[in-house]
Structure 1
Amino acid sequence: VRKIPKKTKLYATRKTAPGLRYFDKEAVKIGGGEKHRLRLDEMVMIKDNHIAAEQSLLSLIDKTKKKYKKFEVEVENTNDAVLAAQKGATIIMLDNFSPVQIIKTIKVLKNKKLRSNVLLEASGGINSKNISKYGKTGVDIISIGSITNSVKGIDFSLEI
């Protein structure tokens, strides 16, 4: 958390230990991160699998907007990020973007006057070694699965 700007929020993903999601997310909060999407029903997230099944990001966003005011869209390129912003996504997840790709995408969104309308989330391939580079890009959110899914257990025993 100290490696990123204060305005950038650090979120743990939903990738948590079975049955321990609440506790994993609470630990992230105690450590300075934020709880995000504890349950699937908290916010609709349009992911790559949904887009592949629908075969049209535009159609899927239109269907989602009919039922939900807030929704997140996972994108894999700048063009899809622009489309999601134009169609009113609340959050756009820039999945597996490099810091350079994120900076380019933010510049395009600013030029089209779309940046202030949406929260941008960087996700995928981010770890403690490269998080500061992602923090400098200007994203609003950085989400990292390894905060909760790569925790090493303590090896201890009790002998009587």
Structure 2
Amino acid sequence: MIDTLEALPPTAGLYRKGLDDFVARVLAEDLGIGGDVTTSSTIGADVRLSAQIRSRQDIVLAGVDLAVAFFMALDPQVRVERLVEDGARVQPDQPIMRLEGNARAMLAAERSALNTLQHLSGIATLTRQYADAVAGTGCTLLDTRKTVPGLRVIEKYAARMGGATNHRMRLDDGILIKDNHLALCDSVEQAVRSAKQSGLEVQVEVDLIEQIEPALRAGADRLLCDNMSPMKLRQAVALVNGRVPIEASGGVRLDTIRAIAESGVDFVSVGRITQSAPAADIGLDYTMASD
């Protein structure tokens, strides 16, 4: 039995308070203090509309329930028929959802809902391309913390819908010793031994084959091979020989990820899937509601 709002399943990764705060903040950004003055000046208060949200290209859908939340925030009585669930592939002109409700509320919520749905579906669509590119290699696609400030939770949700596995959500999720940390430490070994005292899993970024053995001797639980060529990655995989998982990262593109995955690494992380995904082309078409 659900007895608290926070126990409800999350919407696009957001639990109830986070969802309410996000919807309120985005609507406030768009509506300002005076609201949709164009619609309120031209459309009667009791006019009702029917609408369909459709994709105009091949996409992977993400954020449909978050989009619904914007319409419901301005019209709690809006009727919504979800036709496709997040994570599904959607073809051009395929309806995603149908809506019927107050015209003023629907027009006011439209841009916030579409912006969010287009952005998250764009991430999911690009992520699916990368996930498909490594299919069959045994390598897992990871996202990164390269996200729009304030949108990390929902962007990482979209990456999951596209087939990626989430890497760290925050800096307190685990230890990742990077080159900037190593530059301020006496050695790889010293950095790892110090970090191991935390009791957390320790991942170490290496950009040279020579750094691998010192990191492992000190107790590294996982390696991140940064900006290594597929040939160098194969050397790293052979040297590690299954002792710890290996992640490849740095400058990974759609045309290079397959060769990287086939080097034998366990993971490959890609910042582009959240950082560079174009918005999906999704539109909303209205008709007068029939009473």
User: Is TM > 0.5 for Structure 1 vs Structure 2?
Assistant: yes
Q: Which residue of 1 aligns with 2:238?
A: 107
Of 40-49 and 5-14, the range deviating more from structure 2: 5-14
The unaligned stretches of length 5 or more in structure 2 are: 1-130, 285-291
1:109-133 alpha-carbon deviations (Å, 9 max, x no partner): 22xxxxx221100000111111110
Q: Which residue of 2 aligns with 1:45?
A: 176
Report the AA paired with residue 237 of structure 2.
I
1:44-63 equivalences in 2 (<5 Å) = 44-63=175-194
Q: Is the 8 A contact 1:81 1:94 kept in 2?
A: no
Residue 82 of structure 1 deviates from its aligned partner by 2.0
Q: Which has the higher contact order (CA 8 A, sep 6+)?
A: 1
Q: Which residue of 1 aligns with 2:276?
A: 150
Task: Measure, in 1, the Cα distance between the counterparts of 2:138 and 2:251.
Answer: 21
Percent identity, aligned pairs only, is 35
Residue 55 of structure 1 deviates from its aligned partner by 3.2
1:1-160 equivalences in 2 (<5 Å) = 1-4=131-134, 5=136, 7-110=138-241, 116-153=242-279
Residue 81 of structure 1 deviates from its aligned partner by 1.6
Of 12-21 and 61-70, the range deviating more from structure 2: 61-70
Q: Which residue of 2 aligns with 1:113?
A: none
Q: Is the 8 A contact 2:137 2:261 kept in 1?
A: no
Report the AA paired with residue 36 of structure 1.
H
Residue 10 of structure 1 deviates from its aligned partner by 0.4
SS of residue paired to 1:88: coil
1:85-143 alpha-carbon deviations (Å, 9 max, x no partner): 22221220000000000001112222xxxxx2211000001111111101101100000
Q: Which residue of 1 aligns with 2:93?
A: none
Of 77-86 and 25-34, the range deviating more from structure 2: 77-86
Task: Measure, in 2, the Cα distance between the counterparts of 1:156 and 1:33.
Answer: 22
Report the AA paired with residue 139 of structure 1.
V
Q: Is the 8 A contact 1:3 1:135 kept in 2?
A: no
The unaligned stretches of length 5 or more in structure 1 are: 111-115
SS of residue paired to 2:269: strand
Q: Is the 8 A contact 1:46 1:74 kept in 2?
A: yes
Q: Is the 8 A contact 2:204 2:222 kept in 1?
A: yes
Distance 1:69 1:154, change over 3 A: closer
Task: Measure, in 1, the Cα distance between the counterparts of 2:238 and 2:231.
Answer: 11
State how many pairs are aligned.
Answer: 153
TM-score (norm: length of structure 1): 0.88
TM-score (norm: length of structure 2): 0.50
